Amino acid sequence: MRPMASVATKIAKPKKDNIMKKHSHDNRPSLRSAIAAAAAGTALIVAGGTATAEEASLTLDYECPLPLIGNQIITANITAEIPAEQPVGDTEQFAITAINVLPADVRAGLAVGRATTIAGVAIASSTVELVGGDQELDVALDIPETAVPEGEGDFELTALGNAPSITLTESDVGQGVIRVEDLFLDIITREEDGSIAIQPIGEFTSQCQQLPGQDNVLHTFTVPGPIDDDPKISVNPDTIDFGTVQAGLTEEASISISNTGAMELGIHNITLAGNDPDAFMLSHDCTSLTNGQSCTVAVVYYPEGDQPQNAHVIIESGDPETPVKEVPLSGQPVAVVLPEIAVDPDAINFGIVEPGSSTQETVTISNAGGQDLVIEGIAIDGEHAGDFTQTSDCTTLAEDASCNVTVTYQSSIDEDRNAVLIITSNANEEAVKEIPLSTQESGGSTGIVDVVQSIVGETFIASSGGILPLEGHIEAAFELSSQTFEGDLHLEPTAGSFAVSDFFLFRGIKATAKVAFEQVEETTGAIVDDKLTATSVVNVQVKQVDLGLFGLGFKIGGGEDCRTMDPVTIELNSPAGETFEALAGGNLEGTYDLPPLENCGIFTDTLNDFMSGPGNTIELTLTAEFD
């Protein structure tokens, strides 16, 4: 593992530019994000000392963009032994364990790249909130080379590390909070012979985003100050500015009250005063605090009108030196709803594109605000901007409206290419939106992945209302650059019941047919806009047909030569509103005609009455299988 001396600390913080320099030219998504996802986030920077340690634990979800399999959710379960109280001075290091749960798609993606081991480095953004001021730090953590476990489904990866020391000063006396934030990852996967796995699996970076709405506090601790004989109040923060808040919405903040003195501190009263006390509301459970204890006052801002609003939180306590503390509050209501730009996706990786060919991706621009969003310009810039072009119909977008930008990459050389799609608008925030564009060198790879998809489903025979259950699999060669495939379809023999409306003197009786399938042509297809279209051509063989009379079964037809006169062509498509992933699977449906049967015996015409004809439907579920 890399020496921890390289990890950022408050005393000797490495230059962020040096840490990030190796990544500045390559912002490609990577499977390595799945490996280190919250392991780095755990390598934070407060604890140690001689105080009794407490177990701190935190579970966080991250969204990490990965090659081939797209965005994936990685869950990190973090544990560490951290003291609840840390005195002023240098803290000691402490051990951290992170058990990361990686989804089944990650295992599938690694299998495509023939990866058997994983290693890498993660750089985590973390914040230590102190009374003396927040500390924003980048923390590095090594992921040692680890074997990819065999099997299926989700799997766990354990990362271990030590948090470095920082220095706490008297200005930090009071409550401290450790927060885990976003991650930047740099991962290498290797094949069994030790060589780097094939692209785009082998070497990549990824910027993982922590999913919003999560409590990302790993630990809360106290920094005690010099012990006074009297109670002593400490308040953080000493002022709150809610900024600009739209009228009709609310904004929340909190005030921490601590006792840094020896004697118990009584909190006598907490009230609002000033020009606009009705614009704010308080809630708390503060009564009395022993040495080192703290309590929280929740403050909610309710903006109204269009003029600045101000008030004070008045805290009356038993501190003999400062019996009354005031915390100023301020906020600015805004009645005008501003335009807000949203783009999807926020990065495009075209993958491997063969020289001489081209491929397209679509970026959707939406107005998530309440005022018209004016698209002032769309351009492509960057090192290889000449390899990319864009077209769009974007001008002015009303609330909730959207438009599309089509980005085309024309490949002229087999190597990594990078550029940036730049969108300028009148958005209140992010007036300039940048979307990274990238492609990958094939590394000599054909760009073809062998995929086996299991098949489960059924087909409905319209002429008699019979249903045949279907099981089997398809062995396909999937070309990454063109998103096309061809393969062999294998359907298992099956049987079903059919209604025979008229058989001599009998009406409404049931027949049972045993059916087999024989591939005539390879199944072919393509994925366009995340939807699959496929064509299969098979012969349908009817091995045996039994008619149920008087509780007995009588064979009336079938045999080795009993089959459809012509091959059956079945067109399959993804259902409306659903998507299909070559390395995962999906649902398919279709309608087909069943040609007449021949060579089935003297009752061939009868068999055709309840088996052949148009309007037959088929529904299948395909699931990718990997060794």
Task: Kindly report, residue by residue over 387-431, the tens digit of the pLDDT.
Answer: 999 999 999 999 999 999 999 999 888 788 999 999 999 998 889
Q: Is pLDDT at 7 greater than 70 in this prediction?
A: no
Beta strands in 211-334 (DSSP E): 217-223, 233-236, 240-246, 251-259, 265-273, 280-284, 288-289, 294-301, 309-317, 324-334
* CA 562, 499, 514, 503 torsion-angle sign: negative
The number of angstroms, rounded, from the C-alpha of 337 to the middle of its chain's C-alpha atoms is: 30
User: What local confidence, expressed as pLDDT, does residue 140 receive?
Assistant: 80
Of 223-232, 353-362, 435-444, which has the strongest mean pLDDT? 353-362
Q: In 3D, which of 336, 335, 329 has the Cα closest to residue 314?
A: 329
The CA distances from residue 183 to 50, 99, 146, 344, in Å, are 31, 16, 20, 21
Write down the residue that tokens 């985003």 correspond to: 209
> What's the mean pLDDT when you consider all of the chain?
82
Choice between 86 and 372, residue whose per-residue pLDDT is larger:
372
Q: Which of 134-148, 176-190, 532-546 has the highest mean pLDDT?
A: 532-546
Position with higher pLDDT, 11 vs 439: 439
What domains are defined for the chain? 4-223 (no CATH), 233-334 (2.60.40.10), 341-440 (2.60.40.10), 448-625 (2.40.160)
Read off the pLDDT of residues 283-299 as tens digits, 9 standing for 90 and up: 999 999 998 899 999 99
DSSP string, 393-410: --SEE-TT-EEEEEEEEE
> What would the mean pLDDT of 169-178 be, rounded to a whole number?
86
598-609 tens-digit pLDDT: 998 888 887 888
Pair 250, 219: CB distance under 8 Å: no
The dihedral through the CA atoms of 487, 623, 534, 538 has a sign that is positive
Which tens digits make up the pLDDT trace of 22-63? 333 343 333 344 334 434 443 443 333 445 678 888 898 989
Q: Mean pLDDT throughout 243-264? A: 90
Describe the chain by its helix, strand, coil percentages, rounded to 5. Answer: 5, 60, 35
pLDDT at 442: 65
Assign 485 a pLDDT band (cuts: 50, 70, 90).
Answer: confident
Element housing 18 (H / E): helix 16-21
DSSP conformation class of 126: E
More confident: 126 or 398: 398
